[in-house]
């Protein structure tokens, strides 16, 4: 008879440990989701949208990039809202069967089937735009993007499988064990091509200042690659549960953040280059007294010839 209270206490301790672990997981999910979405993405999206609309309206690809910025933000918003909904449904109140039992239970389903298609669609959109950038940088050479294109087609097929069979365990396995490494390989391949092209185009002067290093880091798409690499390492380092815990919302938000950083960097570079070109043209049009004297002297000794206006070339875009 004395063993029954001891057994009840042991069972209650196990229940409390399970609930405590569930609460810790909820804290991690809320912290990462809130910091990425509300702490960074929302502000970055507003700034990027304002700057790009002001600077990029004359570009031929203005509509495409604007739609991509809005769609990537919309997908990240949907992933954040659904993650918060899933968090709110994990702790469920329950009537106390025993005095030592906790008043609520924990739902361990941290990977609902409605989250996987969202972050897979986000990866597919960002990866497709990376392929598009690579194709443009190499003057529309299809041979350069053949392998990344095959990878993107495979990602699209796995997305369709998750939409058709959302509760199939094979879909979850393909999503995390197969798609994340495949997306990482695709991005690394395109990043190598973009890096080689950037070095030849703009970074050939080898000026190792901090601004050029940061600009190179953003334009080469390394931000999204680092996130995929960390999750890839987590798959084989014993943190697979953490990937299902925060993977969908983290990848959705960081993919949108990386894309907004890229668009903002290009828009600001265009704004700075336009300002420098305007200042240079104004300085070239200002005549000093020596210039006026030499001009009058040339006109007095020979026939006057019209001056040829000089243009300050702008840097090419990387989009």
Contact present, 260 and 74 (Cβ < 8 Å)? no
**Lowest-pLDDT choice from 133-147, 148-162, 177-191, 218-232:** 218-232
Helix (H) or strand (E) holding 268: helix 240-285
- Report percent pLDDT > 70 for the chain: 66
Backbone angles phi, psi at 289, to 5 degrees: -55, -40
pLDDT at 106 over 90: no
Determine the average pLDDT of the residues in 168-193. Answer: 86
**How far, in Å, CA of 72 to CA of 44, rounded?**
12
DSSP state of 264: H
Determine the average pLDDT of the residues in 228-241. Answer: 81
Q: For the chain, which residues make up each domain, given as ranges?
A: 3-96+115-284
Q: Name the residue with tokens 């990240």.
A: 76
User: What does R_g of the chain's alpha carbons equal in angstroms?
Assistant: 28
What was the pLDDT predicted at 45? 93
Q: Which residue has the higher pLDDT, 262 or 199?
A: 262
What is the model's pTM?
Answer: 0.76
Contact present, 258 and 200 (Cβ < 8 Å)? no
What was the pLDDT predicted at 89? 79
Instruction: For residue 99, give both structure tokens.
Output: 């005095």
Determine the average pLDDT of the residues in 79-95. Answer: 80
Contact present, 126 and 255 (Cβ < 8 Å)? yes
Determine the average pLDDT of the residues in 267-272. Answer: 71
pLDDT at 214 over 50: yes
Looking at the DSSP bridge assignments, the partners of residue 4 are none
**Lowest-pLDDT choice from 34-43, 110-119, 190-199, 283-292:** 283-292
Instruction: Check residue 181 and give left, alpha or beta (phi > 0: left; psi -120 to 50: alpha).
Output: alpha
What was the pLDDT predicted at 102? 56
Q: Which residue has the higher pLDDT, 305 or 116?
A: 116
Determine the average pLDDT of the residues in 67-82. Answer: 93
Determine the average pLDDT of the residues in 75-94. Answer: 83
């Amino acid at each position: 008879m004395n063993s029954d209270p001891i057994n009840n206490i042991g069972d209650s301790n196990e229940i409390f440990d399970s609930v405590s672990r569930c609460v810790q997981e909820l804290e991690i999910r809320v912290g990462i989701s809130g910091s990425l979405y509300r702490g960074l993405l929302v502000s970055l999206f507003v700034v990027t949208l304002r700057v790009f609309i002001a600077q990029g309206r004359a570009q031929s690809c203005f509509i495409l990039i604007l739609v991509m910025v809005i769609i990537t933000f919309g997908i990240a918003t949907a992933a954040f809202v659904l993650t918060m909904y899933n968090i709110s449904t994990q702790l469920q109140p329950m009537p106390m069967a025993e005095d030592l039992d906790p008043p609520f239970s924990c739902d361990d389903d941290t990977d609902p089937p409605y989250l996987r298609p969202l972050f897979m669609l986000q990866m597919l959109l960002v990866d497709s735009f990376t392929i598009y950038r690579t194709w443009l940088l190499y003057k529309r050479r299809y041979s350069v993007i053949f392998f990344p294109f095959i990878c993107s087609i495979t990602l699209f097929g796995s997305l369709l499988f998750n939409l058709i069979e959302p509760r199939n365990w094979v879909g979850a396995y393909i999503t995390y064990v197969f798609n994340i490494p495949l997306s990482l390989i695709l991005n690394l391949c395109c990043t190598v091509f973009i890096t080689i092209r950037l070095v030849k185009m703009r970074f050939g002067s080898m000026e190792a200042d901090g601004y050029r290093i940061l600009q190179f880091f953003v334009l080469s798409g390394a931000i999204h690659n680092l996130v995929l690499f960390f999750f890839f390492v987590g798959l084989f380092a014993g943190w697979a549960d953490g990937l299902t815990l925060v993977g969908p919302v983290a990848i959705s938000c960081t993919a949108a953040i990386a894309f907004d950083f890229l668009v903002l960097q290009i828009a600001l570079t265009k704004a700075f280059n336009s300002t420098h070109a305007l200042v240079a043209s104004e300085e070239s049009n200002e005549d000093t007294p020596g210039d006026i004297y030499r001009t009058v002297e040339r006109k007095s000794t020979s026939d006057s010839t019209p001056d040829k206006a000089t243009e300050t070339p702008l840097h090419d875009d990387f989009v």
